[in-house]
Amino acid sequence: MEQKLLLVGCGKMGGALLAGWLGRDIDPTNVAVVEPYGADALRDQFEVTVVESLQELEPGFMPNIIVFAVKPQAMDEIVPLYAGFVNPETMFLSIAAGKPSSYFETLLGDGAAIVRSMPNTPAAVGRGITVAFGNSAVSSAQKALAIKLLEAVGEVGWVDDEGLIDAVTAVSGSGPAYVFLMIECLAKAGVEVGLDSDLAEQLARATVAGSGELARQSDESASTLRENVTSPGGTTAAALEVLMAKDSLQELMSRAVAAAEVRSRELAS
């Protein structure tokens, strides 16, 4: 990739993206990072230009992609600083939750090509999934480039209706927390039936991680994979009678996702 890339903010998610890009043989000389906190540590970790403020960038560095990876509450102050980069050849990519494309259009001005994305935390180990949306100024080439950049940390999906980002946030953006809670609950249940707490935690983590990897690699549906584990009248069947009873796991999960989707829409407005 010969385009020049400017990463604004390099916390956990920004750092995961940067590591993924460089791991895909992107030329470090084409990458610059603006990060006011821990700049020296970033310079030691990555062979890229790291500055503490936009003013420190070399005048000749003109990025084709500007990625906003700062916290949502910092956007009001930071985004307007980059309005001078708006042109048909420059794409702005945001990974901030709760900030719609209209928000960036207001701060950057007319004609800004905005891609809004919703990644999740497994991006830190290259197993994330990100769903993105592009405004009307985003070209097909820029869309393809955004997908390529986001694929550095996992799978990528695209929606043409920005309103669906709230549903994505509720399912995959917040979803890792649901899975971690399941590990907590499974380990606690193991302790309650007599297991040592450390062993129960190990069993819960390995079971969830292994099952997730099996689901990722399998062409079979989740329902089929579940059925493959379940012998009629066996122990799994006894447990599933509880988990699949009326008002049990599916009802609870649907309510949880609905609550997260509503909150995402509230934050975006």
The DSSP line for 32-81 is EEE-SSSHHHHHHH-SSEEESSGGGS-TT---SEEEE-S-GGGHHHHGGG
What are the pLDDT digits (tens) for 200-246?
A: 999 999 999 999 999 999 999 999 999 999 999 999 999 999 999 98
Does residue 39 contact residue 9 with C-beta atoms inside 8 Å?
A: no
Q: Which of 126, 167, 163, 165 is nearest to 21 (CA)?
A: 126
Nearest-angstrom CA–CA distance, 60 and 89: 16
Does residue 128 contact residue 154 with C-beta atoms inside 8 Å?
A: yes
Q: Are strands 31-34 and 91-94 parallel, antiparallel or unpaired?
A: unpaired
Q: Which domains are assigned to the chain?
A: 5-165 (3.40.50.720), 183-225 (no CATH)
Give the least confident one: 69-73, 117-121, 158-162. Answer: 69-73
SS (H, E, C) 131-175: EEEECCCCCHHHHHHHHHHHHHHEEEEECCCCCHHHHHHHHHHCH
pTM of the complete model? 0.90
What are the pLDDT digits (tens) for 17-65?
A: 999 999 887 889 999 999 988 888 898 899 899 999 999 998 888 999 9
Token code pair at residue 210: 């292994």
Token code pair at residue 86: 């708006």
Is pLDDT of 257 > 90?
yes
Token code pair at residue 85: 């980069």
